Amino acid sequence: MLKIAIVETHPVQYHAPVYQCLAQQPGLKVTTVYGSDFSVVGYRDAEFGASFAWDTDLLAGMDNRFLSRSATGGARNYEGVAAAGLSAALHAIAPDAVMALGYSHPFDRAALRWAHRQQVPLLFRAETSDNARQRHPLKSWLRDQVLRNLYRRCVALLYVGSLSRAHYHRLGVPDKRLFFSPYCVETSTFRCTAEDRTALRGPTRQQLGIAEDALVILFSGKLSERKGVDLIPKAVRLMPASLQQGVHLLFVGDGALKESLKAQCESKPRIKACFPGFQNQSALSAFYHAADVLVLPSREKETWGLVVNEAMLHGLPCVVSENVGSHPDLVIPGKTGEACQSGSASSLAIGLAKVMTALSEGHGFSADCHARVGRYSVPAAVDGIVEACRSLHQTSATGHR
């Protein structure tokens, strides 16, 4: 029995299903060590500008250890998570390997240090890429030196997509230590079938005041400048008039730009738009089925963009910026959507016009979307971690530990 300790600041709705499935694999004993429980008991997200708790069970079937609880003075958000007690918790578990999820938070770095000092094999599965943000050349150089050193300590590195793999290759990680564990979403939360689309599309549009024949452009997420939402109305106004007339914007989410977005849409020429606010995962399928295309024009810090996975599970083509980390893997021009230049309303308009023209001409994207995103699943993610765990036996035989 191989004992794996997964160390993370808090339960994450996209990660927990992978751990739950991993815990069911024969020959593995999986323990999660969390810095806080704020995401399961409820917290306020500053960028969303909303308070909520995820409505899916992130803890079932797992051996979960919490270093602090919000109700008894523990961290109430990501920034407040501390590493106090982490070393003691890991010593008590005595894992054969530690899986870390990042390096930017002090909690993550404490886990990396513990594994290094105790000579416990380290697995690393993080949102790694080189395109998420622009850095000063000196900062980029320093980052590279730090990460080369970190990656040399890792027995296995799990890449979530092609940009992640390219990042590891650039920093000298050999293929034998790379394992594909794709970023994914748990499908059981959603209603993704053609029958579900038929059942949900009409009633949801009626409830939102959207015409049956409208072409609905959906944005789902934080209404922030980082996400590029301010570019969406600008892009619509740059599209051909024949397409503009049928557009209805649907902003599912909340954030600092909500009121300015409303003002943008109300200014002449007016763009029809609705703002149903933040929605938890179990409610999202209705909005995906009400839409025709998802747009994610992020400017920075979009290392993957799991909303693209969600949309494609519902058969929606996606128009995303090139700064969205998943675009080389999921967004295939003419088949599952279009990629556009980051920060450019005109480029976004061209991408949207291509997809919307195809839709108006009867082109179906659903089959290609389902086929593409199907490769990025919880079972595929678990397979990669299991393969990495198996490599530990070979590595220990050669004296790594």
Amino acid in the structure at residue 388: A
pTM: 0.93
What's residue 392's pLDDT?
86
For residue 352, CA distances in Å to 17, 100, 216, 271 come to 33, 38, 11, 15
Evaluate whether 118 touches 141 at the Cβ level (below 8 Å): no
What's residue 45's pLDDT?
75
Q: Is domain 189-373 classified as CATH 3.40.50.150?
A: no
Helix, strand, coil share (%) of the chain residues, nearest 5: 45, 15, 40
For the chain, residues with pLDDT lower than 50 are 397-401
Instruction: Among 3.40.50.1820, 3.40.50.2000, 3.30.200.20, 3.30.360.10, name the CATH number for the domain at 2-184+377-397.
Output: 3.40.50.2000
With tokens 């997509």, the residue in question is 161
What's residue 56's pLDDT?
83
Enclosing H/E stretch for 177:
none
Closest among 362, 199, 187 to 282, alpha carbons compared: 187
Determine the Cα–Cα distance for residues 242 and 399; give it in Å rounded to an integer: 67
Evaluate whether 265 touches 295 at the Cβ level (below 8 Å): no
What's residue 401's pLDDT?
40
Determine the Cα–Cα distance for residues 79 and 105; give it in Å rounded to an integer: 8
How do the domains of the chain map onto residue ranges?
Answer: 2-184+377-397, 189-373
What's residue 397's pLDDT?
46
Q: What is the DSSP letter of 270?
A: P
Determine the Cα–Cα distance for residues 16 and 10; give it in Å rounded to an integer: 10
Determine the Cα–Cα distance for residues 233 and 229; give it in Å rounded to an integer: 8
With tokens 């106090």, the residue in question is 84
Closest among 378, 385, 394, 380 to 30, alpha carbons compared: 385
Q: Decide whether 2-184+377-397 matches 189-373 in CATH topology.
A: yes
Summarize pLDDT for 353-391 with one digit per residue, the tens: 999 999 999 999 999 999 999 999 999 999 999 999 998
φ and ψ at residue 85, rounded to 5 degrees: 90, -5
Evaluate whether 22 touches 30 at the Cβ level (below 8 Å): yes
Determine the Cα–Cα distance for residues 65 and 37; give it in Å rounded to an integer: 10
